[in-house]
């Protein structure tokens, strides 16, 4: 057994604080003990060089640069260049909006798009990751969209950012999925689940998810990056991420 050697943060968790003071919030995040960030490329509302300068000053690294689907359709290489300026290892598609996933055909087409974009990302030294929610796990036209994406994307190009809450909310066991997709799940989003029947999102360490088993399994598959995320913290986001860090930093994995 050992302690985690690092804990990362999805910056969207402290979005309210970031909107008021990006650099000050990043200093607070670093002071808690976080080192890795998963963040939208322009979450700071600054350009990539200016954002990188701030992160360097406070001792943080953007290891996962997030984008929306619009980036896949227009200016993809410019987003990749910006991710490289930030020093990212992963370029992560954060979400597919509802209008773009109406039918199973949408998912077949998305899988083909992911392959094309991931090949270009690889040429830029980046790994493309797709972040799941629970919609992809809801049956559609006799199939599971998530499984379509897994089956129809190149395993050497398209990887996944597994959100353990949404995976569980969608009826899948995160540990089983980590084993099934070993080598393709490159990063994790860690957020906790309230007890049944509500099953809402809560701060890591305050819900019912067994993060110890999940992280042990992730580490065994060779994973090195996981990020605390809480979509809408009750109270200051910085206090939620402080509590989550304390909990995760105390886990024996």
In the 3-class helix/strand/coil scheme, how is 134-198 assigned residue by residue? CHHHCCECCECHHHHHHHHCCCCCEEEEEEHHHHHHCCCCHHHHHHHCCCCEEEEEECEECCCCC
pLDDT digits (tens, 9 = 90+) for 231-248: 999 999 999 999 999 999
**Residue 113: per-residue pLDDT:** 98
CATH of domain 8-249: 3.20.20.150
Cα separations in angstroms, 76 against 62, 81, 222: 18, 9, 28
**Residue 3: per-residue pLDDT:** 87
**Global confidence as pTM:** 0.97
**Residue 197: per-residue pLDDT:** 85
Task: Say how many C-beta atoms besides its own lie within 10 A of residue 161's C-beta.
Answer: 24
- What is the DSSP code (8-state) at residue 124? T
What residues of the chain score a pLDDT lower than 50?
none
Answer left, alpha or beta for residue 45, where phi above 0 means left and psi between -120 and 50 means alpha: left
The secondary element (H helix, E strand) that includes residue 43 is none
**Residue 37: per-residue pLDDT:** 98
Cα separations in angstroms, 158 against 39, 94, 95, 100, 127: 19, 14, 15, 19, 7
pLDDT digits (tens, 9 = 90+) for 104-121: 999 999 999 999 999 999
What pairs with residue 228 in β-bridges? Answer: 9, 190
**Residue 45: per-residue pLDDT:** 97
The alpha carbon of residue 3 and the mean position of all alpha carbons in its chain are separated, in whole angstroms, by: 22
């Amino acid at each position: 057994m050992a302690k985690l050697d690092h804990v990362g943060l999805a910056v969207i968790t402290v979005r309210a604080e970031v909107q008021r003071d990006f650099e000050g919030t990043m200093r607070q995040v670093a002071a808690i003990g976080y080192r890795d960030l998963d963040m939208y490329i322009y979450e700071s509302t600054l350009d990539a060089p200016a954002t990188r300068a701030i992160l360097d000053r406070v001792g943080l690294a953007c290891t996962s640069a997030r984008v929306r689907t619009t980036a896949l359709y227009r200016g993809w290489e410019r987003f990749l260049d910006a991710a490289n300026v930030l020093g990212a290892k992963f370029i992560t598609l954060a979400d597919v909006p509802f209008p773009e996933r109406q039918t199973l055909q949408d998912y077949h087409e998305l899988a083909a798009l992911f392959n094309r974009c991931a090949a270009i990302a690889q040429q830029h030294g980046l790994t493309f990751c797709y972040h799941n929610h629970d919609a992809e796990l809801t049956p559609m036209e006799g199939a599971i969209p998530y499984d379509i994406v897994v089956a129809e994307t190149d395993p050497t190009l398209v990887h996944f950012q597994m959100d353990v809450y949404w995976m569980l909310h969608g009826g899948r066991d995160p540990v089983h999925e980590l084993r099934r997709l070993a080598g393709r799940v490159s990063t994790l989003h860690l957020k906790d689940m309230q007890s049944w029947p509500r099953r809402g999102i809560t701060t890591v360490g305050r819900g019912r998810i067994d993060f110890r088993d999940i992280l042990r399994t992730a580490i065994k598959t060779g994973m090195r990056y996981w990020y605390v995320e809480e979509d809408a913290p009750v109270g200051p986001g910085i206090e939620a991420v402080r509590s989550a860090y304390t909990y995760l930093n105390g886990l024996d994995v």
